Amino acid sequence: MDRLTFEALRDLPGKVVRGDLRLSRRQALAPLLTAEGIRIENTAGVELIMNIQFNPAVGSKTVNVHVPGVGPICRLDVDGPVHRPAGRTHKHSLQTAQCPDSNLPAGVIDRPDLAGQSLLQVFAAFCQMANIHHDGHFEAP
């Protein structure tokens, strides 16, 4: 996937996440709470999968979207580890076709405006940025 394809997919209207979302704890990852394998319906016919992570011990939140067979194409990290040159709250997105192979290292954008927001607010902000409508209830931990 190249940058133009990513931007077209990001800007595509009508993307939908259907169903209620609830994070759960996986024993091996305690205290991390996750919701994985969330399908994002879209008219482009591209398989998009969202994962959400929340670490209540440190307050970090991550929303990640990947394409099976390609890898991650965008990620929002809020109140997590510093990612130089950006701070603890930043947005990753695909810049080149090689970015998914390296976990989206290039073009990281600082997003201090989202720092300290709740998981529900972070999810809503991500969905707004990516033109995703959530048709369901988000059960915040």
CA distances from 106 to 51, 93, 118 (A): 21, 8, 26
Render pLDDT for 85-113 as a digit per residue (tens, 0 to 9).
788 999 999 999 999 998 888 889 999 99
pTM of this prediction? 0.93
Render pLDDT for 39-82 as a digit per residue (tens, 0 to 9).
999 999 999 999 999 999 999 999 999 999 999 999 999 999 88
Does the pLDDT value for residue 10 go beyond 90? yes
Which residue reads 């603890």 in tokens?
A: 88
